[in-house]
């Protein structure tokens, strides 16, 4: 079943697609939407976060190849398409002062280079809607911040016939959203539900650190509780990156579904008017034929600008 609509989710590393918006993608796949995940890097400099795999000789020998296999497994579980943008993981610098980023990493690539690479993918896949991270990267990993920067740059450039003309015919995605999975509201709701059930919440420390954390503007809440199990299966496919006994899996599944049955997004830019709040990333686009015509029109104007970095 193909309903003619296309969604592109741009992520920094393999595993990010399974922890941010995965149930939404699985729902749209089930409804006939073509979904493409773009991994900007291969996660080459990631740590092994699963205590049971820290000393596995195969993983220690070739972590990048292991992570590629994990991504292929998660892709199959979610039913999405996938492509590597081809840049190298920057790693997460630690220390005071922070060390310089490694030469040749994604976060240090010229914006013209990263934008050109993503514009190629956009013009080939022709998404109607894109998702990415907010201007803070969701959290301040240099690759997440760069993922935001290149996504917003390519979103605009892909529709400009004068930009990167060698990469194909101009195609303007009509909407772009920021993933807002780990909102303060969601975590507090889970925390309260756990305590009300007499269970130990895994989020006490998080909440204590987040006392002064502001809330993002949630414009769009996509009902996708029926796909939470698939989301968790995809996340667990990234075995090197996820502790199976860790925080991600502490809240019972039925409690998750009852407490917060949506994945949440923040509209950043839209070429069609938005009626907020939304329950669908494709709201306002009309049938596929109409959306296709809009995406190739030279008379488009921004109808909604929710960016905080302008």
Three-point CA angle 150, 151, 156, nearest 5°: 100
How buried is 110 (Cβ within 10 angstroms: 0-12 exposed, 13-18 middle, 19+ buried)?
Answer: exposed
pLDDT for 248 equals 86
How buried is 131 (Cβ within 10 angstroms: 0-12 exposed, 13-18 middle, 19+ buried)?
Answer: buried
Nearest in space to 173 (alpha carbons), one of 226, 240, 127, 221: 127
Would strands 129-132 and 34-41 be described as parallel, antiparallel, or unpaired? Answer: unpaired
Residues 292, 278: Cα–Cα separation, whole Å: 21
Helices then strands, counting H and E runs in the chain, come out as: 11, 8
Q: Where are the alpha helices (DSSP H) in 126-240?
A: 142-157, 184-196, 204-209, 228-237
Are 101 and 91 contacting, i.e. CB atoms less than 8 angstroms apart?
yes
Q: Which segments of the chain have a pLDDT < 70?
A: 309-310
pLDDT for 299 equals 87
pLDDT for 120 equals 98
pLDDT for 88 equals 97
Per the listing, tokens 């306002």 go with 284
pLDDT for 309 equals 56
Residues 105, 219: Cα–Cα separation, whole Å: 33
- Model-level pTM? 0.96
What's the token pair of residue 224?
């996708």
Residues 90/93/98/101 CA torsion (nearest 10 deg): -10
Structural domains of the chain, with CATH: 6-180+217-295 (3.40.50.10320), 183-215 (no CATH)
Residues 65, 156: Cα–Cα separation, whole Å: 33
pLDDT for 98 equals 81
Would strands 34-41 and 262-270 be described as parallel, antiparallel, or unpaired? Answer: unpaired
């Amino acid at each position: 079943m193909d309903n003619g609509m296309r969604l592109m989710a741009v992520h920094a590393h393999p595993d990010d697609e399974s922890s941010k918006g995965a149930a939404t993608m699985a729902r749209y796949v089930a409804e006939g939407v073509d979904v493409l995940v773009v991994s900007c890097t291969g996660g080459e400099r990631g740590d092994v976060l699963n205590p049971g795999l820290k000393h596995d000789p195969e993983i220690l020998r070739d972590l990048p190849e292991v992570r590629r296999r994990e991504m292929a497994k998660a892709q199959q579980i979610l039913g999405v398409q996938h492509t590597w943008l081809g840049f190298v993981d920057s790693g997460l610098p630690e220390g005071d002062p922070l060390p310089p980023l490694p030469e040749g990493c994604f976060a240090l690539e010229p914006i013209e280079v990263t934008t050109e690479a993503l514009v190629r993918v956009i013009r080939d896949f022709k998404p109607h809607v894109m998702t990415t991270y907010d201007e803070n990267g969701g959290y301040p990993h240099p690759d997440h911040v760069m993922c935001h920067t290149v996504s917003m740059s390519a979103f605009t450039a892909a529709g400009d016939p004068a930009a990167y003309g060698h990469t194909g015919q101009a195609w303007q995605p009509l909407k772009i959203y920021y993933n807002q999975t780990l909102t303060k509201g969601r975590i507090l709701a889970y925390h309260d539900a756990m305590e009300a059930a007499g269970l130990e919440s895994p989020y006490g420390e998080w909440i204590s650190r987040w006392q002064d954390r502001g809330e993002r503007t949630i414009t769009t809440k996509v009902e996708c509780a029926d796909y939470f199990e698939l989301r968790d299966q995809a996340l667990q496919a990234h075995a090197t990156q996820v502790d199976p006994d860790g925080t991600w899996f502490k809240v019972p599944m039925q409690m998750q579904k009852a407490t917060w049955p949506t994945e949440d997004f923040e509209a950043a830019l839209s070429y069609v008017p938005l009626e907020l709040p939304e329950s669908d990333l494709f709201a306002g686009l009309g049938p596929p034929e109409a959306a296709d015509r809009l995406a190739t029109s030279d008379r488009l104007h921004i109808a909604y600008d929710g960016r905080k970095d302008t």
